[in-house]
Chains A and B, each alone.
Chain A
Amino acid sequence: MDHSPQKRMLVGALSTLGALGALTFSASALAQEIDHAKAAIEFEKFRAEMEDSNPSELFELKGEELWKAKRGPKNVSLAESCDLGQGIGKIEGAYVQMPRYFADADAVMDAERRIVWCMVEKQGFKFDDIAKKPFATDTFTPDATNLVTYVAAHSKNMKIAVPLKDPKVKEAWEIGKEMAAYRAGPYDFSCNTCHGTDGKRIRMQDLPNLATAAGAIKGVQGWPGYRMTGGIQLTHQWRMTDCFRQQRFPAPKYTSDAIAYLLTYMIGNANGQVYKGPGIKR
């Protein structure tokens, strides 16, 4: 391309038409920028259309059933026993106000961690059984995934409001921030290597800067979400675990402190942004 006759002619003409030449070069660089932006906009349009009939709703329906049904060895429903921070059984706006500190568990918990905690403590399920298959495959969707989708749907179009004023949550946020900057693994990189500055991308995917509100919301939006590739429903817990895999880190434990802290950092940074509910992914 650089050695094309047109370019050479252009370079030849530069001495006489310097100003015009410079203009042509900057214009072609600009065209590339615009193409990239255009592709991103087109993809957003496609996503908006898909969201109109988002299969996430199917999982939401199952989650609702699970939330209200008496289940587990203790035969109680989550609706009559589980407090997501808004009072027992209350789910309106609960998702956008997590992670938060729960005194009964003495831990900062994200939505999925809290729901699993309720399933174990209130309904009597065994944590090890849940943690054996924590994420969806093409033939299986965990109950917790359906429940998170149901709860998240009841925070649709609400502002993210992680209670960072709570010292316990703030502490979790600080640890999460440290973790995001922690370089390790065979490739020696941290979360921040890709997600700590503006304007980075991998192939065609723009990488959000999770330290900013506008960037962090991109890491929150669309989760839990339906992956069109494979047709499976996945949660924030899964996304975080997959980040560890992509970094070639050892797999974190399901609903562990580590993930809760990272989620506190990311979702906390998105405070004030509007959450659009369960989403749809490529």
Chain B
Amino acid sequence: MADPMKIRAAMKGDVCEIRVLMSHAMETGMRKDSDGKTIPAHFIQTLTVALNGKAVVSGQAAPSVSRNPVFGFKVKGAKSGDKVTVSWVDNKGDKRSDEATVA
């Protein structure tokens, strides 16, 4: 089971700023361990952000994204109290979904 994300969502004017910290190894598949063996690729492939259950961001990530990545989004049409759901799926099929409330 993957570790939880940390989600911050706050209204700035009429735009909702969402910041997500994800806990993930994000292995590129290019690195080798101390024995010289290739470390298999392990990275987040798709991520989605939903506002009150309606998808507002849908994206793909690649192995070039850093370990424990931070993503930021700006969403219009949100209001304080809305529910933000962020989910990701990685290339091994592992997934995680966390929620936060817009402040």
Contact = CB atoms under 8 A, between A and B. Distances in A.
A52 B19 CA distance: 9
Interface string A55-88: 1011001100000000000000000000000000
Chain A: number of interface residues, binned into ranges: 10 to 19
Contacts of B76: none
B3 interface: yes
B19 A58 contact: no
B25 A58 contact: no
Interface residues of B, number: 13
Interface in B1-40: 3-4, 6, 8, 19, 21, 23, 25
Contacts of A138: 67
A111 B95 CA distance: 34
A57 B21 contact: yes
A231 B6 CA distance: 16
Contacts of A54: 21
A53 interface: yes
B97 to A, nearest CB: 15
A53 B5 CA distance: 12
Given A53-B70, A55-B68, A57-B21, 14 more contacts: A52-B19, A53-B8, A53-B21, A53-B72, A54-B21, A55-B23, A55-B70, A57-B6, A58-B68, A61-B4, A61-B6, A138-B67, A231-B66, A231-B68
Interface of A: 52-55, 57-58, 61-62, 138-139, 226, 228, 231
Q: Which 4 A-B pairs have the closest CB atoms?
A: A231-B67, A55-B68, A53-B70, A58-B23
